[in-house]
Amino acid sequence: MKHICLYFQVHQPFRLRQISFFNITNKVPYFNDASNKQILLKVAKNCYLPTNKLFLELLKQYPFLKLSFSISGTAIDQFKKYAPQVIESFQALLETGSVELLSETNCHSLACVKGKAFFVNEVTAHRHKMKEVFAYEPKVFRNTELIYSNKVGSWVKSLGYEAMLTEGADKVLNGRSPNQLYHHSTDNNLKILLKNYRLSDDIAFRFSNRKWPHWPLTAEKFADWIHQLPDSEEIINLFMDYETFGEHQWKSTGIFEFLEDLPGSILKYKDHTFITPSEAVAKLKSRDSFSALTPISWADEERDLSAWLGNNMQLEAFDFLYALSKKVNRTNNDEMSRIWDYLQTSDHFYYMSTKTLDDGAVHAHFSPYNSPHQAFTNYMHVLMNFEYQLDKLLRR
C-alpha cells in the first residue's frame, strides 16, 4: 500500500518599513502595514480562499482524502487583522475531520539555532495560538523551513510530540529512500517524515516551466509516477508552500485543474490512499533511524542554514537581534515583546542572502528590497531604533 501525505506550509511575514539612519532615535512604526495588508489580501484572493474552497469540495467528494497544514503565528495574526474569512475557511476544513494541523514556531523563526529556551518559547506561543484560534492541540511538529538536527529532534520529543517533518536530504539519507517512515537516531518514539523533494518540487516549482521535459504535468501522469515506485516505498510525503496554488503557480497555469484531478487520479489505484502525519505514525512501522548531526532544511541546493545564516551580514543581524532578548524581557512590555517576536521571522534574514545562480534568483524574487545589502541596512536600522526604545523604557 502506498500512502500519500499532503502537507502545506502557510506563512506570511510582517514586512518592514524603510527606516532611515536619521530616524534611529525617533519613535517610528517598524512594519509596513499598507504593504502587508495589500499582499495578504492578494494572496488570500489568489490562493488561500479559492484553494480552501476547492479542498472543502474535494474532501466531501473523496472520503479518503487527507490534508495537513502548519500555519505560522504571523500568518494567523495577519488573517485576524486583514482577512478573518481565511481563518473561517481553515476552520471549515478542520471540521471535516480529514485535516490535521501541525505545530511550528510561532513567528516562523530560527530560534532553534540560538538554543532550547528560545525554541521552547516559540513553540509554546504557537501551541497557545492553535488552541485559541482552532481549539486544536497538534501532535506533530514542523520546524521553520523544515530545519532539523538530532538535537532539535530531542527537544521536540521532550515537548511531547510524536513525530516531526523534515527534508529528505540526500546527504543524510546516503542512498536510502525518503519514502518510508524513520525515527530519531537515539529515540525510537520520535518518528520522522521526510519530504520527497523531487515529486514535491515537480508541483511547487516546475509545474509551469515549459522548458521542463515533463511539461505539461497532469494529475494522471503524476499519479502514475507514484504508482511506479517500488512497493516497499510505502509513504510519499509531498510537502510544499500552500502559496504554490494560485500565487507561485498562477491560476492560468492550470494548477487548480491539476489539484482538482489529483485525488481521483491517485485513488484510482487500489493500493493508493491518503494519510496524515499522525495516522502515519499510528499505522506504519519505522524502518530505520535518521540522523542529522548538523542542521538540514528544505532550502536551496545545500539543504542547510546558508539561506538565512550564510554570510556575515546575516550573522551580524541575527546575533544583534538575540542580544536584545534580555532587554525585551526586562521591559515586561507586551508591545515590545510582540515587535521582537515579529523581528525573529526567518524571512528578514532570507532577504539578506547573497547567493547567486538559481538559488539567488529565488531569494531575489521574494525580497521586497533591491539588494541584500539594502535588506541588511534597513533591518539594522530597525534593530538600532528598537534598542533605543528599549533603553528609554528601562531608564524610566
pLDDT of residue 353: 95
Q: What confidence category does residue 390 fall into, taking pLDDT thresholds of 50, 70 and 90?
A: very high
Identify whether the C-beta of residue 381 lies closer than 8 Å to the C-beta of residue 20. Answer: yes
If you average pLDDT over every residue of the chain, what do you get? 96
pLDDT of residue 358: 58
- Strands 191-195, 272-274: pairing is unpaired
Identify whether the C-beta of residue 1 lies closer than 8 Å to the C-beta of residue 271. Answer: yes
Q: Over the stretch 341-375, which tens digit does the pLDDT of each residue have?
A: 999 999 999 999 998 655 545 655 678 999 999 99
Averaged pLDDT, 228-232: 94
pLDDT of residue 355: 83
Q: Over the stretch 123-140, which tens digit does the pLDDT of each residue have?
A: 999 999 999 999 999 999
What is the three-class DSSP state of 378?
helix
95 is catalytic: no
Give the list of residues 6+ apart from residue 394 with CB closer than 8 angstroms, or none.
327, 330, 331
HSE-up (13 A, CA, CB side) for residue 303: 18
Averaged pLDDT, 191-196: 98
Identify whether the C-beta of residue 381 lies closer than 8 Å to the C-beta of residue 317. Answer: no
Identify whether the C-beta of residue 290 lies closer than 8 Å to the C-beta of residue 171. Answer: no
Q: Tell me: domain 2-290, CATH 3.20.110.20, correct?
A: yes
Q: Please, what sign has the CA dihedral across residues 277, 282, 285, 290?
A: positive
Q: How far is CA 117 from the centre of its chain?
A: 21
Averaged pLDDT, 142-164: 98
Catalytic residue among 145, 167, 234, 243: 145
pLDDT of residue 364: 59
Cα-trace Rg, the chain: 21
pLDDT at 326 over 60: yes
Q: Over the stretch 232-243, which tens digit does the pLDDT of each residue have?
A: 999 999 999 999
Q: Which of 62, 75, 78, 107 is nearest to 8 (CA)?
A: 75
- Strands 272-274, 288-290: pairing is unpaired
Q: How far apart are CA 170 and CA 121, in angstroms?
A: 31
Phi, psi of 161 (to 5 degrees): -85, 150
Averaged pLDDT, 297-323: 96
User: pLDDT over 90 for what percent of the chain?
Assistant: 95
Q: Which of 272, 372, 258, 390 is nearest to 314 (CA)?
A: 372
Q: Over the stretch 16-35, which tens digit does the pLDDT of each residue have?
A: 999 999 889 999 999 999 99
Q: What confidence category does residue 396 fall into, taking pLDDT thresholds of 50, 70 and 90?
A: confident
Averaged pLDDT, 193-203: 98
pLDDT of residue 366: 73
What are the sequence ranges of the domains in the chain? 2-290, 306-395
Identify whether the C-beta of residue 102 lies closer than 8 Å to the C-beta of residue 277. Answer: yes
Q: Over the stretch 32-88, which tens digit does the pLDDT of each residue have?
A: 999 999 999 999 999 999 999 999 999 999 999 999 999 999 999 999 999 999 999
pLDDT of residue 360: 47
